């Protein structure tokens, strides 16, 4: 059985709503609400990154690009 190969729990969070679904190793499902992570698309490395410590770059008062901590 393929389920026997699982080694841990699975957690899914809807970013827009903070709704979390956890499927535990024994197959039980837990649904709850959490504070959704704050993410932004890094225009330099082209990946979703935590917004904390990132930076918006722009010109003439316009926000043009967002760069993550690792890329700035």
Tens of pLDDT, residue by residue over 1-57, are: 455 665 778 999 898 888 999 999 888 999 999 988 888 899 999 999 998 889 888
Report residue 37 CA to chain centroid gap. Answer: 6
Pair 30, 12: CB distance under 8 Å: no
Q: Where are the domains of the chain?
A: 2-33, 38-72
User: What is the per-residue pLDDT for 58?
Assistant: 78
Residue 57 and residue 3: Cα distance in Å, rounded? 47
Pair 14, 4: CB distance under 8 Å: no
Helix or strand or coil: residue 64? strand
**Residue 58 or residue 5, greater confidence:** 58
pTM, rounded to two decimals: 0.53
User: What is the per-residue pLDDT for 60?
Assistant: 78
Q: How confident is the model at residue 72 (pLDDT cuts 50, 70, 90)?
A: confident
Checking DSSP bridges between strand 19-23 and strand 29-33, what pairing results, if any? antiparallel
Under DSSP, the state recorded for 5 is G
């Amino acid at each position: 059985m393929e389920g026997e190969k699982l080694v841990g729990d699975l957690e899914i969070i809807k970013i827009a709503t903070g709704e979390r679904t956890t499927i535990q190793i024994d197959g039980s499902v837990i649904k709850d609400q959490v504070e959704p992570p704050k993410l932004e698309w890094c225009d330099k490395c082209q990946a979703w990154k935590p917004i904390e410590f990132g930076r918006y770059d722009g010109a003439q008062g316009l926000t043009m690009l967002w760069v993550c901590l690792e890329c700035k």
